[in-house]
Amino acid sequence: MSSAAVLGPTLAFLAELAGDGQALEFAIGTGRVGVPLRERGVPVMGIELSEHMAAVLRRKIDEDFLPVIIGDMATTVVPGEFTLVYLVYNTITNLLTQDEQVECFRNAARHLEPGGRFVIELGVPPLRFLPPGQVAVPFDVSEQHLGFDTFDLVEQILVSHHLTRDGDDGRYRRENSRHRYAWPTELDLMARIAGLELERRVADWDGAPFTRDSAKHISVWRKPT
């Protein structure tokens, strides 16, 4: 995700939407996207829940150059108006209820100037890989790592399980993470609730068309002028 092949088109897409304005990254993490976007000349601010992640970012770039506020992206308000708010790398799914995800859209809209855009990068829920009777969908079966997803279809919760081999002693470390998955059309309704309109949906940062077989989408909603 940090390779030039991934970041190049991501930064070009976001920089064009930011135009001459400021960008706000929700869940900026260690600045994988925010730092190079700032270095490209786009003024960027970030909101991040984890002080630890923000501390790693801070080792890369000065506070004056890229301010980060510690807080929840669904509720934290930062000063200023933005032409672009963006939330990438499936991170809307870290909000585990529909209410929190709606609040996140509202918070994005709150920070946008009229005509500004909210951009989300998100995988399409991989439910076509879950036939009736099967409880898990593997996504990686390799020597060092076993990864599979399990689903609560009622609550729209996906749990990603990882078993990772650290050394040569045959032992595996187990980790998992919970996510609330949502279809693109559900996000469009959340956007409407927040007063935003769908402007564009593509399958990747290069702008490939979004189709029934797309594994992910980049969606752009606009705040009306």
Ligand X SMILES: C[S@@+](CC[C@H](N)C(=O)[O-])C[C@H]1O[C@@H](n2cnc3c(N)ncnc32)[C@H](O)[C@@H]1O
Which residues are at the interface with ligand X (CB under 6 A)? 27-29, 32-33, 47-50, 53, 72-74, 88-89, 91, 94-95
Cβ 26 to ligand X shortest distance, Å: 6
Structure-token pair, residue 41: 């000349």
Cβ 73 to ligand X shortest distance, Å: 4
Residue 32 or residue 38: which is nearer to ligand X going by CB?
32
**DSSP class per residue in 14-53:** HHHHHTTS-EEEET-TT-TTHHHHHHTT--EEEEES-HHH
Query: What is the 3-state composition of the chain as percent helix, strand, coil, each rounded to the nearest 5?
Result: 25, 35, 40
Residue 83 or residue 91: which is nearer to ligand X going by CB?
91
Residue 32 or residue 180: which is nearer to ligand X going by CB?
32
- Measured between alpha carbons, how far is 118 from 97 in angstroms, rounded to an integer? 20
Residue 33 or residue 191: which is nearer to ligand X going by CB?
33
Query: How many other C-beta atoms can be found within 10 angstroms of the C-beta atom of residue 56?
Result: 12
Residue 8 or residue 114: which is nearer to ligand X going by CB?
8
- Measured between alpha carbons, how far is 135 from 108 in angstroms, rounded to an integer? 35
For residue 210, the 8-state DSSP code is: P
Cβ 200 to ligand X shortest distance, Å: 20
Task: Give the nearest residue (CB) to ligand X.
Answer: 29
Cβ 194 to ligand X shortest distance, Å: 16
Sheet holding 136-141, edge to edge: 136-141, 145-152, 157-165, 172-180
Structure-token pair, residue 55: 């501390």
Query: Could you identify the residue written with the tokens 């998100």?
Result: 122
Cβ 165 to ligand X shortest distance, Å: 22
Element (H, E) at 219: strand 216-222
Residue 91 or residue 156: which is nearer to ligand X going by CB?
91
